[in-house]
Amino acid sequence: MPSLIANVKLVTPDEPIRPVSIECADDGRIAAIHEAGATPSGIEVSLDGGGELLAFAGFIDIHTHGANGVDLSQARDETVHVFAEAKLKEGVTTFLPTTWTESPEALQAMARSAAAYRAAGEPFARTPFLHVEGPYLNPKQAGAQNPARMRAPDLAEVRALAELCPIGLISLAVELDGAPDFIRAMRAMGVQCSAAHSNATYAEFKIAREAGLGHLTHYCNQMSPLHHRNVGLVGAGLLDDGVMIEVITDTIHLCPDMIELVFKHRSCDQLMIITDS
């Protein structure tokens, strides 16, 4: 039965916030948006926002390892199902299940868990791709990842993972041996690459950019810092307008002043707020 979410404030990127009612079809999907005063009669109101609740488009989280007590490293068939249900309750309608630095066998188990959820029809949030964060990282910038499992980029390993579940994004340390050729191969496969857990110099960053690098993972965290003799990856994020930047805006991973600095130097369409949960 159709239903109505009445008297809410609609938030969109390009228009002023305005009062609307949202008509939902039988399957819960949005069927129509009605301006204030033009709400159709005869439809049951499932929620009345009282003119105060905000209505957003669903969030997209491209970097998240887990939620609701599970993470992808557990890699059981039901893991991503539980994960996706929790993300949807948070307003996330699409996310990329993000791997950890692990053995090839463990990474394949993570991919199979995501594939099992996709095969079940994605009943909660959508999972179009995996985000592979590690194992191609620099142990000197390990952070919460396992340095003992870190290794050089391995094209055959990634191709084996991609046969189990589509990969959309790979985070890697761009200074590792073979990284530029690996990035070129990934871009040829349609996979975006992001610099992460890396001590790369600005010169090494530029080589990676020429190879097809497009993102910086959790900007400022576990990457070469800004220095007056080598601007590193943090400086690269300020200098290169073409690179997309992930930001954790919890005021812990980045202090409020750094968040303000990033937003002053970057437009909203160059930034991606992530949870890295």
For CA atoms 30, 35, 36, 37, give the dihedral sign. Answer: negative
Model pLDDT, residue 197: 99
Mean pLDDT for 120-146 is: 97
Average pLDDT, rounded, for the chain: 95
Q: What CATH number did the domain enclosing 24 receive?
A: 2.30.40.10
Mean pLDDT for 59-69 is: 95
Does residue 154 share a domain with residue 29? no
Condensed to tens digits (0 to 9), the pLDDT of residues 198-232 reads 999 999 999 999 999 999 999 999 999 999 999 99
Does residue 247 share a domain with residue 139? yes
Model pLDDT, residue 14: 85
Q: Residue 139 has what DSSP assignment?
A: G
Does residue 17 share a domain with residue 89? no
Does residue 66 share a domain with residue 45? no
Model pLDDT, residue 26: 86
Model pLDDT, residue 75: 82
pLDDT band at 163 (very low <50, low <70, confident <90, very high): very high
Mean pLDDT for 95-123 is: 96
Number of domains in the chain: 2
Condensed to tens digits (0 to 9), the pLDDT of residues 41-52 reads 788 899 999 999
Q: Are 5 and 24 in contact (CB under 8 A)?
A: yes
Model pLDDT, residue 40: 77
Does residue 134 share a domain with residue 39? no
Percent of the chain with pLDDT over 70: 100
Question: Looking at the whole model, is its pTM more than 0.95?
Answer: no
Does residue 79 share a domain with residue 46? no
Residue 61's Cα: distance from chain center in Å?
A: 4
Does residue 176 share a domain with residue 125? yes
Q: Are 234 and 198 in contact (CB under 8 A)?
A: no
User: How would you class 270 by CB atoms within 10 Å of its CB: exposed for 0-12, middle for 13-18, buried for 19 or more?
Assistant: middle
Mean pLDDT for 243-251 is: 98
Q: Pick the more confident residue, 178 or 37.
A: 178
Residue 97 is part of which domain span? 59-273
Does residue 95 share a domain with residue 183? yes
Condensed to tens digits (0 to 9), the pLDDT of residues 27-42 reads 878 999 999 877 777 8
Does residue 75 share a domain with residue 37? no
Q: Among 55, 72, 94, where does a domain finish?
A: 55
Percent of the chain with pLDDT over 90: 87
Q: Rounded to 5 degrees, what angle do the CA atoms 14, 191, 68 make?
A: 70
Q: What CATH number did the domain enclosing 156 receive?
A: 3.20.20.140
Model pLDDT, residue 236: 98
Does residue 41 share a domain with residue 140? no
51, 39, 40, 46: which is closest to 3 by C-alpha?
Answer: 46
State how beta strands 44-48 and 3-10 pair: parallel
Model pLDDT, residue 28: 79
Does residue 76 share a domain with residue 206? yes
Does residue 267 share a domain with residue 152? yes
Mean pLDDT for 139-163 is: 97
